[in-house]
Chains A and B, each alone.
Chain A
Amino acid sequence: MISIEHINKWYGDFQVLTDCTADISKGEVVVVCGPSGSGKSTLIKCVNALEPFQEGRIIVDGISVGDPQTDLPLLRSRIGMVFQNFELFPHLSITENLMLAQQRVLGRSADEARDTGLKLLDRVGLKAQAAKFPGQLSGGQQQRVAIARALAMNPIAMLFDEPTSALDPEMVNEVLDVMTELAQEGMTMMCVTHEMGFARRVANRVIFMDKGHIEEDCSAVEFFGSPRGERAQHFLSKILHN
């Protein structure tokens, strides 16, 4: 489904990604972790071309992301993305947030977009908030709306970029629950996260990155059982101690 092949990326002289290669098959849940500054957010943003890369190839559902001929908006509309800071549109109500791209990008009618949006809002347990504005919701609620907004586009895969990092601790689980449910339904997911509990329970594979390299790419069982590399061991010992 998503195939990342030998990606190299520089910011000026500084190389942020070095020869990154990974494959995510249909229905697979892959967690990407690593210390901050390791390039994991950059890598996930390369998948839907929010970040350009200089070398290598990324193929999503048979389409090359870096190809100048590719209709990027069309490709992006088929990949859902959830951000660290939710990024709901603050000037639109929750319902309007859910409807906007359905109408503009997929050409759905207002009625159809509203129906789809409200159904998904119900699914993330927030139907009662439909008429409110993002600023009136808690972080956890906003993030669930953001997930519903992405799902409203019927994505073939979902990208999560540290979806719980900006949340108060008591709100982390409500978001993880939604993500877990989504994974169990067979959604293809690539998640940058520090939530090792989620990775252990839900992920099929864990990719560990450090300094722009993919250091480990193995099954979750293997990763938590006995990570091969020293850096991954060090990282795990630090984060699991807390």
Chain B
Amino acid sequence: MNYHWDWGVFFKPTGIGSEIYLDWFMTGLGWTIALALTSWIIALFIGTIIGVARTLPNKIIANLAAGYVALFRNVPLLIQLFIWYFMVPDYLPESLELWFKQDINPATSAFISTVICLGLFTAARVAEQIRTGIEALPQGQINAGLALGLRLPQLYKDVLLPQAFRIIIPPITSEFLNVFKNSSVASLIGLMELLAQTKQTAEFTANLFEAFTLATLIYFVLNMSLMLLMRKLEKRVQVPGLIALGGK
């Protein structure tokens, strides 16, 4: 192959203001992190509620939660994004619709759509992890909590969830990393996150390989550091004298 690699390209001016191409990547990285973290907070919050709901004795609530999971897990993420970005705004109350389409800038509206989409999509996956974590606990733990007089919300908050969260840190770590990777769908509705900036750099400079190599590196380093961070968290919340919870 006869490709002339030019790593200096990232320090060349873009011709827009005084920016160099590397600045585009940094802006993109900023959007990617903002998207992923905001979506993750939504996913954790809603995912926990749905996951808990799936384990409740009330069958109606449990089935509704199961319906949520089925709906959001079985439709491709991209289709969900298009629905949230192109379709849902048309059905909003008129003042909200105008605000979304005209008042805020396009980046903000793309950001809002992606964060809602990715948050709710990931929540379904988080919910399944939470549910498995709770179901892995021995029935005796539930009995012990109830026998002491704890009410259902207290039982979940003080007994079941703290244990379930510890059990699911490894699988939930991969969901956390997935949010960062999945946030690249935002590039398809025009949000200039990391992938979009990469494509733009490739088009402007014709240095396609360099651009995508750098993007790969950034995603890799970002996710590696998050993984290490989660391992640290896992160690920190480890319970002394207990190798694996829920085994008994």
Residues of A within 8 A of B (CB): 45, 48, 50, 73-74, 76-81, 83-85, 87-91, 100-101, 104-105, 132-137, 149-150, 153
Contact = CB atoms under 8 A, between A and B. Distances in A.
Contact of B143 (A50, A88, A134): A50
Contacts of B147: 48, 50, 76, 79-81, 83, 150
B240 A87 contact: no
A79 B144 CA distance: 12
Contacts of B239: 90-91, 133, 135
Contacts of A136: 240-241
Contacts of B150: 73, 100-101, 104-105
A105 B162 CA distance: 19
A83 B147 CA distance: 10
Interface in B144-163: 144-151, 154, 158-159, 162-163
Interface string B140-183: 11011111111100100011001100100000000000000000
Interface of B: 138, 140-141, 143-151, 154, 158-159, 162-163, 166, 239-242, 245, 248
Contacts of B146: 50, 73, 76
Contact of B148 (A45, A100, A137): A100
Select the residue from B141, B143, B163, B248 with max chain A CB neighbours within 10 A. B143
Select the residue from B145, B148, B158, B248 with max chain A CB neighbours within 10 A. B148
25 contacts: A50-B143, A73-B149, A73-B150, A74-B149, A76-B147, A77-B149, A78-B149, A79-B147, A80-B147, A81-B143, A83-B140, A87-B140, A87-B144, A90-B239, A90-B245, A91-B166, A91-B239, A91-B245, A100-B148, A100-B150, A101-B150, A132-B241, A134-B242, A135-B242, A150-B147
